[in-house]
Chain A
Amino acid sequence: MKQILLITDGCSNVGMSPIVAAAHAKSEGIAVNVVGVVDHGELGEYGASEIHEIARAGGGLSRLVQAKELAQTVQMMTRKTVVQTIQLAVQRELQSVLGNDSIEALPPEKRGEVVKVMDELTETSGLQVALLIDASASMRPKLASVEEAIHDLMLSLQARAGKSEIAVFHFPGSKQEDCVLSLDWTTHLKGVPSIFPKLHMSGTTPTGPALMKVVEHFIESSSQRKEMDGMIGDDVI
C-alpha cells in the first residue's frame, strides 16, 4: 500500500494544480492525505477548500488541525487510510463474488468474518508512506511539531506486523527546486538526529509540482526494487 501525506499551511501558488497532481497519484494507486496546520489562521477559506480538494482527488482524507495535534492526527489518518484501502479492495471482491456492493449489506455474523480478514490485512500488508512537508517561511515555527509527528508515526508503524517504510520530502528547495528528498525509504529513525537541518525557506509554495515529484519517486523506487528483486531477493532491501 502506498500513501502520500502532505502537511501544509497555505495555498499552492506556483506551477501545476495540486489537485491534478493528487489525481495522478491516485491513478498510480497512491492515496493522498492532507493535513492543514491552522495555528494562526493564515490558511483562509480558499486554502482550506484546496486542502479538502487535494485529498478528495487523491482518494484520501483531509484534516485541519493545530500544530500540537499533528502527531495524533498523522498517526490516525495513516491508519484510517490503510483500513480504507483494504476496505475498497474487499468491497470490489465482494461485488464480484456476491453481487453485494458493501460490507454493510452483509448480515452481522458474515460481516464479522469479513472484518476479521480485513483487520489481519491491515496489520500485515506492506506499507509505504511518503511525507511531503511544506517548508515555506510560514511553516518554520511548526517544523518541530512536524518532526515529532514523523517520529510518532514511525513508532506506530513499527508496531505493525507488516513491513512499513517512510520517506520524507520537503518543498520548495533552496535552489529553486520544486521538491527535495530529505530522507529516503527507511524502516526506522535511529541515527537520524534531525530530518530538517537548516532549511532555506522561501516564500513560494509549489505544492502541485512537489506532489508530482513524490509520485515519480514512488514509480522510480518501485521499478528499482523490481530490478533488485530479480538480482538478489527481497530481504536485502
Chain B
Amino acid sequence: MTTSFKLPLKKGSVIVGKWKHGHYRVERLLGEGANGKVILVSKDWQWYALKIGQDAVDLQSEINALKALASTSMARDSYLKDVDDWVTPQGKELPFYTMRYVKGLDMSAYLTQHGEDWFPLLGLNLLRSLGELHQAGWIFGDLKLENIIVGQYGDVELIDFGGATQIGKGVKQFTEIYDRGYWNCGSRTADAQYDLFSFAVLCLQLFAPRKLHQLSKELLPQNRSIEELMELAKETPQLAPYLKWLEQAFSGSFKHGKEAASAWRMLAHQRRSLAKSKKTPRWLKVMIAISLISLGISASLYVLDYAGLLK
C-alpha cells in the first residue's frame, strides 16, 4: 500500500532534525517507495538522499535492517548516515533518515545508453551485492528495476531496503511480478533463492518488459510457472547464454548468492573465450582434414607400394 501524503517541500526549504538538529536543504524529489518519499538534499556541500515516511514504525523497521547490515560486510562506506524526526511547519512530526546519495541510472536506461555489452558485468556486480547480504543472514526482498542504481562503470548499488528481511522470516515487501509466490514457484519465506528468483525475473524485465507484462496479465493465476518464464527467456536472444543459469535461479537450485554469482561469472568469461575458440576449430578442422587425407593417401600409397613389393 503506497502511503501517499502531501509534503510542504519546495526547492530551498530546510528540514531540521528534532533530536540532532541537522539542517538539510531540499533540492528535489528523487522517488517514492512503499514507506515514504526519497528527496535529494544537501548539507555542508554534500549530497544525501533523505527518506521521509509517515509511519514511524514502518520506517524504523527499515532503519533497523540498515543498521544490522551496517555492522556486517556491507559497510564499505556506511549507507545510513543520520536518523531523526522533522517537525513540519504545520506541526506534524515525520520520521526520516539520510543515506549516501548515489548518482546514476536504472539498469535498463544504463544498458540503452552505454550498450548491452555491460549486461554481464551489471549482473555480476548485482549478484555479488546480493551474495554479501545473504552471507550476513539477510535478503533484499523487493529486488526490482526501481531499487537498483547503476553508477559509473557499471557500479551497482541497491537502494530502498524496505523489503530487507532476515533469512527464515516472511518477506516483508515484494512486487508481484518479481515474486516467487506469484509465479507458483515457492514460498514467501526469506531465503537466498527468493532474491535469485527475482534477479532472474529482472533479466526478463530488462530485455522483454512488454512480453513479461503481457504474460502476467494473460495467464490464469494457476498457470503461472517456471515453464512460462523459461519459454519467454528462450525467445529473448540476449539471454541465450544464460538459459541454464536462469533455469537454476527460477527453480531455486543455487545454494546462495555467492554460488549464483560465481556461476554467472563463469558464463560471462566463458562466453568471451568461447567466442574466440569458435573461430579456431574452423581452420583447425580444415588442417586436420587435410592432414588426415594426406595421411590416407600416403598410407594407401604405402600399402600399394608394399603390395607391389611383395609381388
Q: A residues within 8 Å of B by Cβ? A: 63, 71-73, 76-77, 80, 83, 87, 103-104, 107-108, 111-112, 115-116, 118-119, 123, 148, 151-152, 155-156, 158-161
A-B contact pairs, 22 of them (CB 8 A): A63-B1, A83-B57, A87-B57, A103-B60, A104-B56, A104-B85, A104-B93, A104-B95, A107-B19, A108-B19, A108-B85, A112-B64, A115-B61, A119-B61, A123-B169, A123-B170, A152-B182, A158-B188, A159-B170, A159-B189, A160-B170, A161-B169
Q: A-facing mask of B262-298, CB < 8 A → 1, else 0? A: 0000000000000000000000000000000000000
A104 to B87, CA, bound (A): 11
B171 contacts A by Cβ under 8 Å:
yes
> Which residue on chain A has the smallest CB distance to residue B93?
A104
Return the 6 tightest CB-CB contacts between A and B, nearest first.
A159-B170, A159-B188, A115-B60, A159-B189, A108-B83, A148-B221
With contacts A107-B19, A159-B187, A159-B188 taken as known, whether A151 is within 8 angstroms of B64 at the C-beta atoms is: no
Q: Point out the residue from B57, B60, B188 that lies within 8 Å of A156, measured CB to CB.
A: B188
A229 to B115, CA, bound (A): 65
Q: Report the count of interface residues on B (CB-CB < 8 A).
A: 27
Min C-beta distance of B294 to chain A, whole Å: 68
B57 touches A112 (CB 8 A): no
Q: Point out the residue from A76, A77, A87, A152 that lies within 8 Å of B181, measured CB to CB.
A: A152
A148 to B222, CA, bound (A): 9
Q: A-facing mask of B193-218, CB < 8 A → 1, else 0? A: 00000000000000000000000000
> Which residue on chain B has the smallest CB distance to residue A102?
B56
Min C-beta distance of A147 to chain B, whole Å: 8
> Which residue on chain B has the smallest CB distance to residue A61?
B1
A103 touches B57 (CB 8 A): yes
Q: Point out the residue from A111, A118, A151, A155 that lies within 8 Å of B188, measured CB to CB.
A: A155
B84 touches A108 (CB 8 A): yes
B181 touches A156 (CB 8 A): yes
Min C-beta distance of B20 to chain A, whole Å: 8
> Which residue on chain B has the smallest CB distance to residue A90?
B57
| Complex contacts, B67 vs chain A, CB 8 Å | 112
Min C-beta distance of A209 to chain B, whole Å: 30
A72 to B34, CA, bound (A): 13
| Complex contacts, A73 vs chain B, CB 8 Å | 1
A164 to B169, CA, bound (A): 14
A151 to B181, CA, bound (A): 10
Q: A-facing mask of B175-197, CB < 8 A → 1, else 0? A: 01000011000011110000000
> Which residue on chain A has the smallest CB distance to residue B176?
A72
| Complex contacts, B243 vs chain A, CB 8 Å | none
Min C-beta distance of B99 to chain A, whole Å: 15
